[in-house]
Structure 1
Amino acid sequence: MNALKHIKVLHIHDRQSNEDYGVSELKEYCKNFYEANDCYRGIELYKEEKPEIVIYNVSFPKISNEEFIKKIKQINEKAQVIITTQSLTKEKLYNAINFHLIKYLIYPFNLNTLLDSLKDCIRSIDSNTSNIIKLSKTFTYDRFNKTLFKDEKLISLSAKEMDFFHLLVKNKDRAVSYEEFNQIIWEGEMTKDALRSIVKDLRKKIDKNIIKNISGIGYRVNL
């Protein structure tokens, strides 16, 4: 992952964390990798080095995750923060929507999962775009955490519905072809009925005009 060689990464962790799930291996990928064992030292180091990405896994922080993010965002509102956590609540996911550029990783994860999250962060940095997509006045989608909200309510999606919708949003500037859905989501075993069923069920949960059918081609998200 050559892009990481040119990115500064700050890892803030405490001594309560016995496992880092591949975080230490990032040193092999990152030329500029910094560490802090205390959230306040982490903030000071952030001010000094101005890293593009922060990985935060403090088990018993002296300040809450929300307070920590606010302090980082006050320094750089475009800061990319990956928070590792034992569990993920609706409140945390909604906070991610509000703060932007926040990715949650649930233990246990591995180096590949962590690298995928870093790739998301780097793409956001390169494109200078947010991971938060406003679909309509009431619906919001978080590309990093793959969550869909209607106002403050988290919309429950099945695994297939989420894969389908994420593929649409990921390619929001074009139509996604039937063949792409077939290969990426169904691994070559898609039926027309299965695809129609996914679209039908999704349209019951979100505004019907958000998913648009492009005749003879496939579907696209209508923003």
Structure 2
Amino acid sequence: MNALKHIKILYVDDKKREEEYVVSELKSYCNNFIETDCCINAIEIYKEEKPEIVIYNVSFPEVSNEEFIKQIRSVNEKAQVIIATDNLDKKKLYDAINLHLIKYLIYPFNLNTLLDSLKDCVRTLDSNSSNVIKLSETLTYDKFNKALFKKGELISLSSKEVMFFDVLVKNKDRAVCYEEFNQIIWEGEMTKDALRSIVKDLRRKIEKTIIKNVSGIGYRIDV
């Protein structure tokens, strides 16, 4: 993660947790790492230091999660925000979509999980793109939280459906071949019937025209 050495990170947390060692480890990857245990100070620090990434614990009573992010985004609308929380419900995920929030981390998490989230942030900063993709008038996908919404409602997906759909979205400019699905989702043990079942179930849950079959090759997403 050499890219993190050139990124400024603000870490905001008012609790001493088991994850404290994770933060200590993270510092070895970052040359510009700022910590505070006060959300009011965090907003002032952000205005002064303008870090590219904020990692934020939502337990603060003084300022709501939404208000904190809005204040951060008033300084930099492209700010990357990772929120750490003890639990995550459908409303939080949908609010995250509206706020173009990058990632939720659920306690407990480890260093690798945190680094993966930070990699997502760096990719977004480099590409100047959003983690939220509008697939149609009714469908929205949050690619970092792997959450699919239809008319504002979170769609319940199986683990393999999530993996299949995520592969399609990540490769939205091309068709994904059968062998790629075989290796990524089934680790070499896929049957054509298993793949067709995934596609059939997904089409039933979302708009049928979103997932296109490419004869002799595989599938692509139509966005």
Return the TM-score normalized by structure 1: 0.97
CA deviation map 1:52-101 (0-9, x unaligned) = 10000143331111111111111111000000000001110001110113
Query: Any idea what SS the aligned residue of 1:62 has?
Result: coil
> Which stretches of structure 1, 4 residues or longer, exceed 4 Å deviation after superposition?
none
Equivalents in 1 of 2:40, 2:23: separation in Å?
20
Matching of residues 65-214 of structure 1 within 5 Å: 65-214=65-214
Equivalents in 2 of 1:147, 1:90: separation in Å?
10
Offset at residue 25 of structure 1 (A): 1.3
Equivalent pairs counted in the alignment come to 222
Query: Any idea what SS the aligned residue of 1:23 has?
Result: helix
Offset at residue 171 of structure 1 (A): 1.1
Moved more, 45-54 or 18-27: 18-27
Query: Any idea what SS the aligned residue of 1:130 has?
Result: coil
Unaligned runs of at least 5 residues, structure 1: none
Computed over aligned residues only, the root mean square deviation of the Cα atoms, in angstroms, reads: 1.0
Does structure 2 conserve the Cα–Cα contact (< 8 Å) formed by 1:39 and 1:58? no
Unaligned runs of at least 5 residues, structure 2: none
Equivalents in 2 of 1:65, 1:24: separation in Å?
24
In the alignment, residue 139 of structure 2 is paired with which amino acid? F
Which residue does 1:18 correspond to in 2? 17
Does structure 2 conserve the Cα–Cα contact (< 8 Å) formed by 1:39 and 1:61? no
Equivalents in 2 of 1:107, 1:92: separation in Å?
15
What percentage of residue pairs aligned between the two structures are identical? 74
Query: Any idea what SS the aligned residue of 1:100 has?
Result: coil
Does structure 2 conserve the Cα–Cα contact (< 8 Å) formed by 1:23 and 1:114? no
Equivalents in 2 of 1:17, 1:67: separation in Å?
23
Matching of residues 56-67 of structure 1 within 5 Å: 56-67=56-67
CA deviation map 1:97-127 (0-9, x unaligned) = 1011331011111000000001111111111
Equivalents in 2 of 1:167, 1:140: separation in Å?
16
Does structure 2 conserve the Cα–Cα contact (< 8 Å) formed by 1:85 and 1:105? yes
Query: Any idea what SS the aligned residue of 1:141 has?
Result: strand
